[in-house]
A and B are shown apart, each in its own frame.
Chain A
Amino acid sequence: MVRKSRLRCCGKEVVVDFDLTREQEMIRKEVRKFAQSEIAPVALELDEAEEFSSDLTRKMGEIGLFGMFVAETYEGQAMDYISYIIAVEEIARVDGSQAATIAAGNSLGIGPLYYFGSEEQKQKYLPTLCNGQALWGFGLTEPTAGSDAGGSKTTAVRDGNEWVINGSKIFITNAASDMTLGVTVQAITGTRSNGKPEYTCFIVESGTRGFKAVPMKKKMMWRSSNTAELYFDDVRVPAANILGQQGDGFHQMLKTLDGGRLSIAAMGLGGAQGAYDAALKYAQKREQFGQPISKFQAVAFKLADSAMEIECGRNLLYKACWLRDHKRPFEKEAAMAKLYCSELMGRVANHAVQIHGGYGLMKEYDVERFYRDQKLLDIGEGTSEVQRIVISRYIGC
């Protein structure tokens, strides 16, 4: 699509512009091509085997899917947030697991190091991560601390020039793969003046003594993405491994999750698009009672609703990204986009399976996987309920 120059209407500049830039269009086209030729043929097999593929992850790295919003200085791709979101969307259109590797890799792995790391930390880790040669995890959730971060038990205690970390984390994406370089882990480092715990984030490299990352198996969804349990048993790291300053942990987590919400929203949007595309194609071909089932209103209306809601989701998500790209507050819109696009994919994947009938229940049809993969989106990076709390606070409830 050629970008139109700004129009003038009634002597006033028209500022609403829904055109993507030429580069954004190209990114969509190339990532779609990549997803269709490299991911689609293996998605079912990897899901079945519950296998994380470092080969595929490296390939995604080669075309530039890691470090998308990172400056060129650290070998990032220096793109805007919409470009990043489009890329996640296009991968999710084909496979949620690979989209998870990308979304978590960028937003949770690379993001905190890039935004809060010292120059030295950035130089040390970002180039390898941005080239997609290695992955990084973000350890936040604990067995006793899900929506309630206050339930965290992982601690770090200063001992001379070192910190000693003890505790565990759970459901940590990209943290126990054969290409994981390390994790950022949030730990309690004291008590603040208001009586609440003080949180600090630490960099812990894979292989550090006392640190163990164990892959989690038997998942319902995202089966070919790497999910880990992390154990810290008297793990000693130098004080230089603090991300930012002591006590910054809580603020860093909030900022990281705000951006992360956009990428989860992109996964919902892309997954909805993929399920809808499959359902439409199937409905146009499948004949019952002597005509394609897409001709029956019972089916057609499901598809019409899906198309409409996808359009709404895309507009909401891109607007939230646009706000972020223009350095405006975007937190409320990010929560809305995450919530809406997650639930949107739930409705569309549900329609898609229904339209496929019995075949939709079979693994051979992609919609079966989409239906399962969607459920994470209602839960991860802030549940739908938490998003509603966030939104309600922003609107003054």
Chain B
Amino acid sequence: MEIAVLLKQVPATESLIEIADGGTTIKTDGINWVMNPYDELAVEEALQIRAADGGTVTVFSLGPEKAVEALRTALAMGADTAVRIDPQGKPMDGLSTAKVLAGELKKGAFDLIIAGHRAVDDDNFQVGPAVAELMGIPHISMVIRQEVTDGRIRCTRTIDGGTLVLETALPALITTQRGLNEPRYASLPGIMKAKKKPIDTRALSETGTDPGEPMVRTIAMRLPPQRKGGRIIEGDSATAKAEALVKALREEAKVI
């Protein structure tokens, strides 16, 4: 199995996010960057498939020089090779990112492409499915379990309130959902071995893909409203407290 994993470097979820001057980007100074958590699931799943069926795992990222860290982490976890496409400062949206990645993926012969179902920074949900569409291959999203047999992949995906079992022929693209696996840590020997693994860097201008102008433009960025303090329900007994809570939920919050 030749497996490709698409990954993105994102600010760590515990980072304190501040909006930069101009109001359309975030301040990147002092932010701790990590591999998108859904992409970690993708790397882990690829490594597990490789362990069972053999083959190679190649990780792809379209991102600036700094994105090398996320690729190195994937290599340290056990991926074989990495490709970084440098956007050379060109602004990209979900579709243009997908165009570039699809262009590079077509140059290989991958049986399976795995991506996170979304990146936790912009929550776009688009790149995985768009890549599959542009490559003309099937895709199954939000996968929590998969099984590859005889050139086909059978996946369990989450839907509202339940699961769905889907099957398609390979090559295909799947996107990951929490619950698929428990990503391994990059072990210390893994980090040392990753040192010797190559990262193939390709400039956007050399890829032969024209991503076009972004069709989506960020107009404004706002922080979520400050969370209001909680409220402690008073009462003399558990019953009284429960009654007060039900009353508040029904009449004030109007949720039941």
- Residue positions of A touching B, CB distance < 8 A: 2, 22-23, 25-27, 29-31, 33-34, 62-65, 68, 77-79, 83, 87
User: What's the minimum C-beta distance from B86 to chain A, rounded to whole angstroms?
Assistant: 14
B187 in complex: contacting residue of A22, A25, A29, A63, CB < 8 Å: A63
CB neighbours of A34 from chain B (8 A):
185
24 A-B pairs with CB atoms under 8 Å apart are A2-B65, A2-B68, A22-B69, A22-B195, A23-B191, A23-B195, A25-B69, A26-B194, A27-B191, A29-B34, A30-B73, A30-B76, A30-B188, A30-B191, A62-B187, A63-B185, A63-B188, A64-B187, A64-B188, A64-B189, A64-B190, A68-B188, A77-B189, A87-B188
Tell me which residues across on chain B come within 8 A of A33, comparing CB atoms: 185
Contacts of B65 in A (CB 8 A): 2
A83 to B68, CA, bound (A): 20
CB distance from A72 to the nearest CB of B (A): 8
Min Cβ gap B182→A in Å is 10
Chain B residues positioned under 8 Å from A68 (CB to CB) = 188
Enumerate the 8 nearest inter-chain pairs by beta-carbon distance, A residue then B residue, closest first: A64-B188, A64-B187, A63-B187, A64-B189, A77-B188, A30-B186, A63-B185, A26-B191
State whether the Cβ of B203 lies closer than 8 Å to any Cβ in chain A.
no
Chain B residues with Cβ below 8 Å from A83 are: 188
A79 and B188 alpha carbons, distance in the complex (Å):
9
Q: Return B92 CB to nearest CB of chain A, in Å.
A: 22
Interfacial chain A residues near B191, Cβ < 8 Å: 23, 26-27, 30
Report the minimum CB–CB distance from A268 to chain B (whole Å): 22
Bound form: Cα–Cα A78–B186 in Å = 16
Question: Apart from A27-B188, A30-B76, A63-B187, what are 12 other A-B pairs with CB-CB below 8 Å?
Answer: A23-B191, A26-B73, A29-B73, A30-B186, A30-B191, A33-B185, A63-B188, A64-B187, A64-B190, A77-B188, A78-B192, A79-B188
Interface centre among B66, B69, B73 (most CB of A within 10 A): B69
Q: Mark B182-213, 1 if CB is under 8 A from A, else 0.
A: 00011111111011000000000000000000
Contact status B189-A26, CB under 8 Å: no
Main secondary structure of the interface of B (DSSP, over half): helix
B165 CB to nearest chain A CB (Å)? 31
Residues on B with C-beta less than 8 A from A87 are: 188
CB-CB nearest in chain B for A87: B188
Q: Which residues of A contact B69 (CB under 8 A)?
A: 22, 25-26
For the complex, give the distance between the alpha carbons of A31 and B188 in Å: 9
A63 to B191 Cα, complex, angstroms: 10
Contacts of A63 in B (CB 8 A): 185, 187-188
Q: Encode contact with A along B167-193: 1 for CB under 8 Å, 0 otherwise.
A: 000000000000000000111111110
- Docked pose: A23 CA to B191 CA in angstroms: 6
* B99 in the interface (beta carbon within 8 A): no
Chain B residues lying within 8 Å of A77, measured Cβ to Cβ, are 188-189, 192
Residues A26 and B187 in contact, CB atoms below 8 Å apart: no
Q: How far is the CA of A78 from the CA of B191 in the complex (A)?
A: 11
Which residues of A lie under 8 Å from residue B34 when comparing CB positions? Answer: 29
Please report the C-alpha to C-alpha distance between residue A78 and residue B192 in the assembled complex, in whole angstroms: 8
Q: Which residues of A contact B139 (CB under 8 A)?
A: none
- The CA of A239 and the CA of B188, in the complex, are separated in Å by 36
CB closest chain-B residue, reference A130: B189
**How far is B95's CA from A138's CA once the two chains are assembled, in angstroms?**
61
Alpha-carbon distance A30/B183, docked complex (angstroms) = 12
